[in-house]
Structure 1
Amino acid sequence: MKISSFISIICFFIFVTISAQEGARFKENKKIFLHGNSVLIGNNILGHHPTKPLMNTKISNDEVNMKYIDVDSDPSTFSSSQANISNLKNGARIAHAELYWYGLYPYKTSALRESRNKLVHVGKGQRDTIVNSIKFKTPNGTYEDVVGEVVFDSYSSNLFIENSPYVCYADVTETIQNLASRNGTYTAANIKATEGKILGGGSAGWLLYIVYEDENESPKYFTTYNGLAEVSNNAVTISFKNFKSKEEGDFKTTIALAAMEGDRNIKSDQVSILNKKKRRFEALSTPMRDKKNFFNSSITLGSENSSKRNPASKNTLGFDLLKMEIPNPKNNLLNNSTTEVKLKFETKKDRYYMFFAAFETEINKEYLEEKTREAQDDESTIAFTPETPSANSETTSLNDKAEIEAPNEPIELSEEELLLRTLNIESVNIPGLVSGYYLITNVFAELDNAKSWSKYLAEKGYTPKTYINPANNWYYIYIAKNKSILPIYDKWQKTKDLEYFNKIWILKINL
């Protein structure tokens, strides 16, 4: 059977060098090889008015008394904004879909007040510690609750305390795959952020990135990653590896980026790409993004503003979202058979937080087939083909092949396999959560109790995180997670005898 594409799950072949202050180290989230393309949409969710777009491009986000945008006329939501997809083929197979949301959220509200002849920012109301639960609506659908992974929330740390950024992520691949029509209006709601004025200016928004399979498209390599790093006085350099671009002829390379708190009127921020021939970084730009003011509070696709949004503001007040092709005439910037691309993010006056990036480049058909063959022998990959109705049936055939080719001599089990055979770990499925082993400290039916416990753990020096189990709507507080059982088991051994952890346990989620 010919296999035309595959997806790798959470592999770490992307190398990230961060000289700036990190909130969460960037990590590769998905790696995909297939015939296909991608779609990117999103919108901000804090603005100057609940429904009206902001077209004045001279206003910075720290000048605006921020209000929640709320365009859906639904009393069950306090914030909502929309974006449209119009060019996704309904017959195309959805390979992967990622939903992100973020906010600057130190308090519920904040205002400028005069104190001793100076203006100071005064926050009011303790912000909600649960930021990973929102509502999401697809075309012709109704709101569904999405509980995502907290990539980073500075509120429980001593980083970025003046504006407390957070970033959340959810895998919504299955949701998009099950849609009768993928084109239409997508709405994200109940994303939390501080209303009013905070130091540096408020900001909040969301994005949806979809990779789809289409045999009429060229073979491509896709990778996405997430995290949170402050770009200020020091640069952030990212190296994309583990691919090989087309060996002959022209080829297209595309990047997608998202950042928060890039001020339109503060210049000097840049995104540069390494020109290996000249051994220097060269600044990128588009007609909508100046090379010396790249992050300028806008949502752009190529050379145009993305206008299929509600509200369709030209000034998105600190939220930057873009997809652009890297200019490469006559391959003078990126060579054929390129195996590494470096991007550098920097600024001299502004400050912004990077939290999402995607990289795409055209590859040879033979290279795609090579990667597909590798996938057949790699248990960490999912392979599928247009002739196969589901990934499950393909997985079965791969397992059958493994049994046929297995040697007759005894199989030596790894340390992890031996440990898993001795442990009786409960397994559950939680939509939207990253798969792995979670170290659960407690469960609460009431939000206030969950908040109190999380605060107590933070005082003990832990970084507690929370997810909501949609089966019972209870709050699960965990202090560690990993794809491997070994580090979680080690942490469990070190904490299980502590007085306040008398009920700590390991839970296997989405594995």
Structure 2
Amino acid sequence: MWAPCGSANAAPAAPAPEADGLPFAQRYHALQHGGIVRAANASATCRTTASSCRDARAGAKAANGDFDMTYIDVDRDPNTYNSSRAEVALPAGSRVTYARLYWGGNLLAGEQKPWQDNGRVLIAEPGGEYKELIADTLVGHHVADGADAFQASADVTELVRDSEPGLYTVAQVNVAMGRSAAGTWGGWTLVVAYENTAEPLRHLALWDGFAPLGGRSGVEMPLRNLPFAAGAGGRAGLVAYNGDRGTDGDSLVLTAGESAPTALADRANPFDDVLNSTITDAGAAPHASRRTPTPSATTPTCSTSRGLAHAGDRAVFRLTSQRDTAWAGVLFAAVDARR
């Protein structure tokens, strides 16, 4: 079963309009004690009948264009053709201040999915029934390099704030299955900002857009009006689509003030292969109980962490991909306001 979010008497919402590309802009900012967490999972994966698929799921170098891809469907609901789960793990005593769900994929592979469904998805909170979620902002939709790619998003703050801890399920992400030289891919990410008096005072910020990555220019995301304290630490995370593990040439670089550019990296995300089809937190994969299913290789999303230098309001993130055909969707950061 599922029902639309909002009033039971409200008319069904119309899908949000689409744009070929969406410039990156700040979606949310708060100065508060707390942090940012996210849950994410894929909607498609390779067929396990091939040994190379099993190796790829275990973390071997691989490209999704080499596989016949099929849907992930964990909910045993005959009314859905794809579904997956992941947990929003909040520290004890936290209060959710903002939450946003992002979903996206490739509509063109072994089949062509209709673009009219890009702005609709189903979401179920822990222990709850499916609710139809309609994108509340422009949907990014771009056809290039053999792919028909999109990303949509919606504010789910009230749903997440009122929910019990546990796994969220997201279904009906508009993703094609089959095989394509451009790759078959799709998935979702739930980004959550929270307040917690036991944690340091931080600048919490979220940017989003939708842009193809290629060449050396990439996508730049300036961090405006976030005065970092000298020597303060922080974490940054990103959501991007269609990077292949082992294909280098993609990086997330931070330029802060007059300092030299720094390529962010951790154990799971090398400085020259950050778009490597992994879902990780600070270099470590989330515990197996926090996602269903839990393959090592999934829709490309990653989170990196590193100390950030004093930069006033001149810090800039730049995401590039020189060899992978990829799309940038989201950047989030939690930066200490005090040293």
TM-score (norm 1): 0.57
2:177 is aligned to 195
The amino acid of 2:65's aligned partner reads D
Shift in CA distance, 66/88, structure 1 to aligned 2, threshold 3 Å: same
**Does 2:209 correspond to 1:227?**
yes
1:212 is aligned to 194
The amino acid of 1:350's aligned partner reads D
Q: Report how far residue 231 of structure 1 moved.
A: 1.2
Q: How does 1:341-380 map to 2 (within 5 A)?
A: 341-364=315-338
Q: How does 1:104-183 map to 2 (within 5 A)?
A: 104-106=106-108, 110=110, 124=111, 127-149=114-136, 151-154=138-141, 159-160=143-144, 162-179=146-163, 181=164, 183=165
Equivalent pair of 2:203/2:335 in contact (CA under 8 Å): yes
Equivalent pair of 2:112/2:176 in contact (CA under 8 Å): no
Equivalent pair of 1:151/1:226 in contact (CA under 8 Å): no
**Does 2:275 correspond to 1:287?**
no
Equivalent pair of 1:154/1:160 in contact (CA under 8 Å): no
**Does 2:229 correspond to 1:246?**
yes
Give secondary structure in 2 for the equivalent of 1:129.
helix
The amino acid of 1:215's aligned partner reads T
**Does 2:25 correspond to 1:27?**
yes
**Does 2:307 correspond to 1:327?**
yes
Query: Could you say which structure has the higher helix fraction?
Result: 1
2:34 is aligned to 36
**Does 2:251 correspond to 1:270?**
yes
Q: Report how far residue 364 of structure 1 moved.
A: 4.5
Equivalent pair of 2:66/2:181 in contact (CA under 8 Å): no
Q: Which runs of 5+ in 1 are unaligned?
A: 1-21, 111-123, 329-333, 366-511
For 2:48 and 2:128, locate their aligned partners in 1 and report how far apart those are by CA, in whole Å: 23
Give secondary structure in 2 for the equivalent of 1:154.
strand
For 2:26 and 2:336, locate their aligned partners in 1 and report how far apart those are by CA, in whole Å: 19
Rg: which structure is higher? 1
**Does 2:81 correspond to 1:75?**
no
Q: Report how far residue 48 of structure 1 moved.
A: 1.4
Shift in CA distance, 76/293, structure 1 to aligned 2, threshold 3 Å: same
Give secondary structure in 2 for the equivalent of 1:174.
helix
The amino acid of 1:164's aligned partner reads D
Shift in CA distance, 56/255, structure 1 to aligned 2, threshold 3 Å: closer
Aligned residues: CA RMSD: 2.3
The amino acid of 2:227's aligned partner reads K
1:315 is aligned to 297
Note the alpha carbon deviations across 1:447-506, whole angstroms, 9 max, x for none.
xxxxxxxxxxxxxxxxxxxxxxxxxxxxxxxxxxxxxxxxxxxxxxxxxxxxxxxxxxxx
Q: Report how far residue 175 of structure 1 moved.
A: 0.7
How many residues matched? Answer: 312
The amino acid of 2:277's aligned partner reads S
For 1:50 and 1:152, locate their aligned partners in 2 and report how far apart those are by CA, in whole Å: 32
Equivalent pair of 1:167/1:355 in contact (CA under 8 Å): yes
The amino acid of 1:147's aligned partner reads I
Q: How does 1:44-83 map to 2 (within 5 A)?
A: 44-49=42-47, 54-83=57-86
For 2:113 and 2:326, locate their aligned partners in 1 and report how far apart those are by CA, in whole Å: 24
Q: Which runs of 5+ in 2 are unaligned?
A: 1-19
For 2:292 and 2:229, locate their aligned partners in 1 and report how far apart those are by CA, in whole Å: 39
For 1:126 and 1:39, locate their aligned partners in 2 and report how far apart those are by CA, in whole Å: 31
- Which region of structure 1 is more displaced relative to structure 2, 201-210 or 224-233? 224-233
Q: Report how far residue 50 of structure 1 moved.
A: 8.7
Equivalent pair of 2:256/2:314 in contact (CA under 8 Å): no
Q: Report how far residue 59 of structure 1 moved.
A: 2.4
For 2:91 and 2:138, locate their aligned partners in 1 and report how far apart those are by CA, in whole Å: 28
Equivalent pair of 2:257/2:314 in contact (CA under 8 Å): no
Query: Could you say which structure has the higher strand fraction?
Result: 2
Identity %: 22
Q: Report how far residue 198 of structure 1 moved.
A: 2.2
Give secondary structure in 2 for the equivalent of 1:233.
strand
For 1:285 and 1:205, locate their aligned partners in 2 and report how far apart those are by CA, in whole Å: 23
The amino acid of 2:46's aligned partner reads H
For 1:276 and 1:341, locate their aligned partners in 2 and report how far apart those are by CA, in whole Å: 6
For 2:336 and 2:61, locate their aligned partners in 1 and report how far apart those are by CA, in whole Å: 38
Equivalent pair of 2:274/2:302 in contact (CA under 8 Å): no
Q: Report how far residue 153 of structure 1 moved.
A: 4.1
1:97 is aligned to 99
Note the alpha carbon deviations across 1:77-129, whole angstroms, 9 max, x for none.
1100111234433x4221000111001113xx51xxxxxxxxxxxxx456252
The amino acid of 2:263's aligned partner reads A
For 1:86 and 1:220, locate their aligned partners in 2 and report how far apart those are by CA, in whole Å: 19
